[in-house]
Structure 1
């Protein structure tokens, strides 16, 4: 059996006041899975996502992603890791309003040094795949919430990362736009994209996750595969 894409071993995360947010958590995620992480506010689910992204470090334990020990990286190596191996989607899109849709999508390629012609072709491919190519020259402020989230997903996929992380990707969307993004994430996973998403949206977890875990007080209280999707 191949090694897991994400391998978290006995991770504890404590902050200065001494309270442990994660408590000896162990988790493996295989390539091609779509994992939904559920839990109440303060349960540790966002901390878990930050550890996988290399935005935070565990107090104890190890975090390995795509064969790389993330918890031991320097700040510059961690930034390079995120550019090359991680795509991130946020609740409030984090798009730059003074850049066009295409220019927002191109940002990761520019940071990673991708040749301009190759980057332009990749951006056009993604915008067409995600159904927003007609907005390529528009500015984010002129788009709906669902369209802006599609732009954010295109940006996250620009460098072909093996792992897509999504933090409450439907949290700022209306019901129709949220359903649209759920369908998109399910389609991406069906095409082979590994996804880890943190959400309070049970409909999102049920519709697009192949597996769901629930984090309670820093530990995995439930870990179940999807029966149907």
Structure 2
């Protein structure tokens, strides 16, 4: 078996007061998985996501993503890691309202120094694939919530990341738009994209996750793998 795309070994994360956010966590995620991380507020979900994204460092233990020790990276190297190896989707989209849809999607490529012509071809491919090519020249404020989340997904996929991280991707959407995003994540995973999502949306986890991990008080309470398609 090939090495996991995510390897977390004996990871704890403690802050100044209170119990640790994560306590002696071990986790492997295989390439092609769609892992949903569930749990109540304060369970450690966001901390886990931030450690994998290189936005925070563990108090103890190691975090390896696609063969790279993320917990050992400098701040500059962490930023390069996020540009090159992962894509991130947020609850509130984090799009730049003064840029067009196309220019929002192009941002990761520009930061990585990819030639604009090559990046535009990739952006056009993604916008067409995600069903929003007609909005290429529009500004995000003119789009629905579901459409804006599709733009955010296109931006996250721009540099062909090994891993897509999604933080409450349906949390700001109505039921129709949430169902649309669920269908999109299912399609992306079926095409081979590895996904780790943090969510309170049980319907999202049930419909698109190949595996669910429930955290309680910073520890694994439940870990289930199941066929959903």
Q: How is 1:82-101 mapped onto 2 (pairs within 5 angstroms)?
A: 82-101=82-101
Aligned partner of residue 25 in structure 2, secondary structure: strand
Runs of 4+ with deviation above 3 angstroms: none
Aligned partner of residue 131 in structure 2, secondary structure: coil
Find the counterpart in structure 2 of residue 73 from structure 1.
73
Per-residue deviation, 1:19? 2.8
Aligned partner of residue 127 in structure 1, secondary structure: helix
1:19 and 2:41 are equivalent in the alignment:
no
Q: Which runs of 5 or more residues in structure 2 are unaligned?
A: none
Find the counterpart in structure 2 of residue 118 from structure 1.
118
Find the counterpart in structure 2 of residue 133 from structure 1.
133
TM-score, normalised by the number of residues in structure 1: 0.99
Aligned partner of residue 20 in structure 1, secondary structure: coil
2:209–2:228 Cα contact (<8 Å) kept: no
Q: Which runs of 5 or more residues in structure 1 are unaligned?
A: none
2:6–2:63 Cα contact (<8 Å) kept: yes
2:85–2:163 Cα contact (<8 Å) kept: yes
Q: How is 1:33-72 mapped onto 2 (pairs within 5 angstroms)?
A: 33-72=33-72
1:206–1:226 Cα contact (<8 Å) kept: no
Find the counterpart in structure 1 of residue 143 from structure 2.
143
2:91–2:168 Cα contact (<8 Å) kept: yes
TM-score, normalised by the number of residues in structure 2: 0.99
Per-residue deviation, 1:18? 5.2
- Matched length: 229
CA distance in 1, matches of 2:197, 2:55: 16
Q: How is 1:203-214 mapped onto 2 (pairs within 5 angstroms)?
A: 203-214=203-214
CA distance in 2, matches of 1:140, 1:120: 18
CA distance in 2, matches of 1:208, 1:187: 9
Per-residue deviation, 1:226? 1.9
Aligned partner of residue 125 in structure 1, secondary structure: helix
